[in-house]
Chains A and B, each alone.
Chain A
Amino acid sequence: MRTKKRLALAAVAALAAALPLVAHHAVSAEFDSGKVITLKGTVSKVDWVNPHIFIYLDVKDDSGKITTWRLQSVPPMFMKGSGLTKEKLLDGAETTVTAYPAKDGTDAFGFLLKLAYPDGHFYNLGGGNAPAPAPPSPAK
């Protein structure tokens, strides 16, 4: 009768750690606001889902290996009427991103603060005075 609940309870049983809080979780319960990391890459995927939008960032290291970071962002309702769309986020441009890393040590998982683009425009989704990303790289 409650398939969703049974599935979720099965997931709870399978996980030893304290579990999910979606719409009500505190950022500090999941991400380390004492550390700000800077990444450079391109947005390869956007999950426009509740309770938080997820933005995937492909980051290439010096050897050319690509690591896809999974970055939690704001609830979809925060974006309502803003004009900042999934398509804008997926414009393929290289962007410099600041984020909080996950507290549980999960690789390539964080809380998105700001995306900054070489032409100067930015998307500050972390609120407040988000730390400025590294200066934009010179145009090629």
Chain B
Amino acid sequence: MKLQLGLAATLMVTVSVFGQDLNYGPPASSYVAEALKYPDAASKPTPKTADGHPDLNGVWHHFFGELVHPVGDGSFALGFGGAPRPANASAGGPPPPRPRPDPLPEYKAQYVTKVKFFNDNQVKEDHALHCMNPGVPRIGPPHQIIQTAKQMVFLYADSTGNEWRVIPLDGRAHSTDPETDSTDNGDSVGHWDGDTLVVDVTRLNDDNWLADNGLFHSKKLHVVERLRRVGDTIQYQMTAEDPDVLAKPWTISRILTLQMDTLEAAPACVDNDAGHYVNQEHHDNAR
């Protein structure tokens, strides 16, 4: 029997400060907000590298930050009404899609209780909330891509720390090194399927989750990422298959928008809050 997890309420938990909800979810919304700034990005020409493949080089950072703004006379204020339109923003073009929550993974019936337990105890159980690498696929799409004919390098300036993945494109099989049989980022190999970069990831540990709210996985997790550049955007799709715990593959999609800025390394992550929580209240975090 397949059960759809009833976690929709927790996916939209908000933080209320002075009656104003500081909504950190759903994760896809930050990408949509970014796309709204550059509505005609997808209609730009799609550049190619010398070897004829789409050029994925660039910063595709999507953080939904930039929420503190000058408000005159040397003052600054936190606002959630959206940042001022950037000077390099484009005008016209089709509007980007509206924000919508990610679909939820469907677990085998016997694991629904386990997901609920992790969700109810996320403050304690979620390693990513303790400044540790959330791992693949939870870390999300790359913030910067460095592309050569032989490999791709994905860089991440995550709130938990800076991470990187090397993805060979030489047709090799997955590693069989017993010393790295399972890690946070797993073992990635890539190839081109036409104009789409396909990244196959295995050898992931079971310390991390697919996303927030207790969505755990086993070591059997197999992730396939597909990246297709369209103009100054990348259509990113991630499919997670875990025959041990998931009832069927789980797929989420993001639209990444090329950024003019350079990537800024993430400030160190320090777990200053340790020991001060009085309950398990939590919210989602955009990635």
How far, in whole Å, are A126 and B78 apart by their CA atoms in the complex?
A: 7
Q: Is the CB of B78 within 8 A of A125?
A: yes
Residues of A within 8 A of B50 (CB): none
How far, in whole Å, are A113 and B199 apart by their CA atoms in the complex?
A: 44
Q: CB within 8 Å of A: which of B253-287?
A: 264, 266-285
Partner of A30, one of B67, B69, B264, B276: B276
Q: Is the CB of A8 within 8 A of B66?
A: no
Given known contacts A5-B207, A25-B277, A30-B278, is B68 in contact with A52 (CB within 8 Å)? Answer: no
How far, in whole Å, are A125 and B75 apart by their CA atoms in the complex?
A: 11
Q: Is the CB of A121 within 8 A of B74?
A: yes
User: With an 8 A cutoff between CB atoms, is B1 at the interface?
Assistant: no
Closest Cβ of chain A: how far from B65's Cβ, in Å? 3
Bitwise, B59-76 to A at CB < 8 A (1) or not (0) is 000011111111101111
Partner of A126, one of B18, B70, B207: B18
Number of CB contacts from chain A to chain B under 8 A: 216
Given known contacts A80-B65, A82-B70, is B123 in contact with A19 (CB within 8 Å)? Answer: yes
Q: CB within 8 Å of A: which of B147-165?
A: 159-161
* Number of residues from B at the complex interface, CB < 8 A: 63
Q: Is the interface of B mostly helix, strand, loop or mixed?
A: loop
Residues of B within 8 A of A2 (CB): 132, 207
User: With an 8 A cutoff between CB atoms, is A15 at the interface?
Assistant: yes
Interface centre among B20, B124, B275, B280 (most CB of A within 10 A): B275
User: With an 8 A cutoff between CB atoms, is A135 at the interface?
Assistant: no
Q: CB within 8 Å of B: which of A5-27?
A: 5, 8, 11-12, 15, 17-27
Given known contacts A49-B268, A50-B267, A121-B75, is B129 in contact with A74 (CB within 8 Å)? Answer: no
Partner of A19, one of B73, B268, B277: B277
Given known contacts A20-B123, A24-B126, A124-B78, is B275 in contact with A8 (CB within 8 Å)? Answer: no
Top 6 A-B pairs ranked by shortest CB distance?
A77-B65, A128-B18, A26-B281, A128-B20, A29-B281, A121-B74
